[in-house]
Amino acid sequence: MLLQLIFTKQAEAASPAAPAGARTLAELDEGGQAVIEAIEAPPDIARRLMELGFVPGSTVTAARRAPGGDPRVFRVDGSEVALRRETAAQIRLRPSRPG
């Protein structure tokens, strides 16, 4: 929780446009961790994402970015998956509660 809080602070500092922290996976900063709330992608893609481990309730860590910043590698459920920004933006994160 503390880690998450620290991370939220960082996210705020990095992108003032997202005051409530990262709302989607695309906004999650490198090294940041969050819990998936919902997947808002077309059914086929949503299913593929879930099969790869992006299930609501799972914790995701943003790992590194490819050269140029996109796609990004996420750690979820013991494996690493590369996603482009537009797909990451379809994965909604659970709002991090302060405290």
CA distances from 64 to 38, 95, 98 (A): 23, 22, 26
Q: Which stretch binds other proteins (CB under 8 A): 1-9, 17-25, 27-35, 64-72?
A: 64-72
Q: What is the dihedral of CA 5, 58, 94, 16, to 10 degrees?
A: 50
Q: Where are any strands of DSSP class E within the chain? A: 33-39, 59-65, 72-76, 79-83, 91-93
Q: Which stretch binds other proteins (CB under 8 A): 5-13, 21-29, 60-68, 91-99?
A: 60-68
Stretch 30-49 residues interacting with other proteins (CB under 8 A) = 41, 44-45, 47-49
Q: How far apart are CA 70 and CA 64, in angstroms?
A: 10
Stretch 67-86 residues interacting with other proteins (CB under 8 A) = 67-68, 70-71, 73, 75, 77-84, 86
Question: Does residue 53 touch other proteins according to CB under 8 A?
Answer: yes
- Closest listed residue to residue 33, CA positions, set 76, 9, 55, 62: 62
Q: Considering only residues 18, 33, 63, 94, which one is a binding residue for other proteins as defined by CB under 8 A?
A: 63
- Per CB under 8 A, residues contacting other proteins are 41, 44-45, 47-53, 55-57, 63-68, 70-71, 73, 75, 77-84, 86-87
